[in-house]
Structures are given as structure tokens and as C-alpha cells.
Amino acid sequence: MNICFGPWKPAKSVVTANKDVVAQFGKDMFDSAEKNDVDFLFEASVGGGIPIITPLKQSLTANRITEIMGIVNGTTNYMLTKMTECGSDYDTVLKEAQAKGYAEANPAADVDGLDAARKAAILASLAFNTRVELKDVSIEGITKITPDDIDYAKNLGYVIKLLAVGKDSAANGVDVRVHPVFLPKEHPLAAVNGVFNAIYVRGNAIGEAMFYGQGAGSLPTASAVVSDIIDASRDIVNNTFGRVRCTCYEQKSFCPMEKTESSYYVRLLVDDKPGVLGYVATAFGDAGVSLRSVIRPSGMLLIMLRSWPSRIRWCMRKSRRLLRF
């Protein structure tokens, strides 16, 4: 943007909606903006029209933010909503989403979680005041979700959502990931359906807050871009630049997903024979993992438990060995 009016020098502030650029080159962009004494604004890079970057950089600065969770990809949220409401399977809703223009011909970036991961990196960088890059984000998409999973979630009072999750705890460091989550039906994010996006923030002063709106589309994106341009223009008119600079002024350590204890949902394909549940429960029990709930539809074991990823993988390998006998 190049605006020159009044007695001021020409200013070339930068406004972008490109999340890839912000996630990958955010630091370089800020360094360059500072060197050239201009603004660098990117409200449209996450959540389309939803004001979230400005609130994080300005309105929530008095908080230590401990958690940020977002439904930040409209394509996958549309697909999961359809699977939940209509009971359709993954391939059917993907075709429907492609026909409606919500998913691209090659949907990989959306359904594999890469798009959400870029936004997770941006949100976590702003929320935790430390640089989070794409390589720091654990990513799992929605391609393996079946109607059985959706049903199981529904019966237990959950909905399945693809979330971008960032957590910052003094004990473990920063933990950023994108994966499908069993979300309790009462959670504010659980009612965010279709192509809508929402970002949920937990801070030590504000408690819980949520920002909801249209996460994509030309007009919502234009709303954010043009508002940024007006904001940059206000700085030009007032002859001030870089009023709100890069806020990554800390260097926090990361807690890899492998070392994060979480609640997990495990689906195993099993033979409909007596003793199978006993074998599996023994395998998990021997590894010190206690099962929270088990449902056994035909040919399947659906388990809720709390543990670490490596321990769960070890149990599942052991379960398979046991099941061979």
C-alpha cells in the first residue's frame, strides 16, 4: 500500500491476507517493517473476517493466555458438520463439499490439517508471545474419521471437530497441534457449524472468550483487509508507524506431542469372538493405561483412555499380537 497525502513522507505499509507468508516469514516481515518504519498488518490471515489478530495484539495484552483453540478451517468444519447431521461418510461429504465449492479438487491442504496448522502457528505465536513455526505444530487431519466415530461421540455427549490447539503451561512449555477432538456438547466451540469459524481463548484475567464468524469468502476477507488498510492509514495520517510491533518477545520451549498426556479415543478392528475385550484390556492394563470407557459394536472396539501417544502405540502393537492367538 502506498499512500501519500498531506505534508508526510510516502509510506509503504504492508497489509496481507496470506497465512502462508505470515506463518513462514512472519519474523522477516516484522523485521523488514521495523527497518523501513512501516506497519505490517495481517488480520485476514486467520479466521477470515473475524477480528482475532487485533484483539490478541491489543485487547487481551493484559492477560497471560494459557490456551487458544480454534475451528479455523471452514472446509473440514463443513464436512464434519454434514457427517454429524446426516450420518454420511467421509467420501460422500467430500464430494458434496467439492460440488459446492467449499473444498478444492485436491483437498489435501484442508483435510490433512495443513491449512489449520499454519493458522495454529500464527495464533499460538500471538497468544504466547513466542515464535511458533509450522514445524513446531503436530498435525493430524480428518481423513480417517468414520460415521462410527461420529456416532460414538454423539452417544457419549461429544461432537468431533478439527481443532487448532495451543497450550502454554509453565511446567511443560508450549504445545501446538491440529487434530480431530471429541468436544463436549456444552463447549462454546461445539455449536460452531458449517463453514463458520471460531477462536476460543482462555486467559488468566479474562477467563474464557470466543470470537465467531465467517472464516472465508471474498467479502469477510475483504472486511479484514480493508479494516487493516484503514488502520494503517490512521497511522500514516498521524505520522506514526510500527505502533504495534512483533509481540514475540519471549523464547519459550516446546512440549512435543509425544510427551503430552491427553485423553484419547482409540478404535480397534477386532473379531467378534469372546475374550477379545479381555485380551485388549489386559494389554493396556499391563502398560499402566486404564480404560475410561469401552463400547463394542460389531467387529470393533471403541475405547476412551488417558495416556501418552508412545504408550498407546505400544499397547496397540501388543493388542494386535495378543489378538493373533
- Identify the burial level of 56 via C-beta atoms within 10 angstroms of its C-beta, where 0-12 means exposed, 13-18 middle and 19 or more buried: buried
Q: How far is the CB of 204 from a second copy (least distance, A)?
A: 8
**In the β-sheet with 262-269, what is the strand arrangement from edge to edge?**
262-269, 300-307, 291-295
* Shorter beta-carbon distance to a second copy: residue 33 or 137: 33
Looking at residues 167 to 196 of the shown chain, list those that interact with a second copy (rule: CB under 8 A): 188, 191
Instruction: Supply the minimum distance, in Å, between the C-beta of residue 181 and a second copy.
Output: 18
Q: Rounded to the nearest whole angstrom, what is the least distance from the CB of residue 319 to a second copy in the complex?
A: 39
β-bridge partners, 40: 14
Q: How many residues in total does the chain contain?
A: 325
Taking the C-alpha atoms of residue 205 and residue 174, their distance in angstroms, rounded to an integer, is 19
Q: Which one of the spans 89-97, 167-175, 221-229, 253-261 is the region binding a second copy (CB under 8 A)?
A: 221-229
Among 84, 239, 55, 222, residue whose Cα is nearest residue 158: 84
If residue 319 lies in a helix (H) or strand (E), which one and from where to where? helix 309-324
Nearer to a second copy, 185 or 320 (CB): 185
| Active-site choice (119, 185, 259, 318) | 119
What are the C-alpha distances in Å from 135 to residues 22, 29, 85, 132?
14, 19, 34, 8
Determine which residue in the list 1, 133, 134, 212 makes contact with a second copy, applying CB under 8 A.
212
Question: Residue 164's closest CA among 207, 216, 127?
Answer: 127
Of 133, 148, 151, 231, which lies in the binding site for a second copy, with binding defined by CB under 8 A? 231
Q: How far apart are CA 34 and CA 246, in angstroms?
A: 9
Tell me the longest C-alpha to C-alpha distance in the chain: 85
Which residue number, 46 or 145, has a Cβ lying nearer to a second copy?
46
By beta-carbon proximity to a second copy, the closer residue of 204 and 310 is 204
- 140 and 309 in contact (C-beta within 8 Å)? no
- Residue 102 CB, nearest distance to a second copy (Å)? 15
* 3-state class (DSSP) for residue 130: strand
Q: Is 206 an interacting residue with respect to a second copy (CB under 8 A)?
A: yes
- Please pick, from the candidates 17, 134, 209, 270, the single residue that binds a second copy as defined by CB under 8 A: 209
Out of 55, 147, 173, 309, the residue judged to bind a second copy by CB under 8 A: 55
Give dist(CA 276, CA 271) in Å, integer.
7
Asked if 213 is part of the footprint of a second copy (rule: CB under 8 A), the reply reads yes
β-sheet bridge partners, residue 14: 40
Q: 22 to 51, contacts with a second copy by CB under 8 A? A: 43, 49-51
State the cell numbers at 307: 495416556
Q: Which of 107, 113, 141, 220 binds a second copy (CB under 8 A)?
A: 220
Of 241 and 265, nearer to a second copy (C-beta) is 241
User: Measured from the CB atom, is 170 or 205 closer to a second copy?
Assistant: 205
Ranges within 234-273 binding a second copy (CB under 8 A):
234-235, 238-240, 243-244
DSSP secondary structure code for residue 65 in this structure = E
**Is 144 annotated in the active site?**
no
- Our CB check for a second copy shows the closer of 207 and 274 to be 207
Phi, psi of 217 (to 5 degrees): 100, 150
Interface with a second copy by CB under 8 A: which residues?
A: 43, 49-51, 54-55, 58-63, 188, 191, 203-214, 217, 219-220, 222-227, 229-231, 234-235, 238-240, 243-244
Catalytic residues: 119
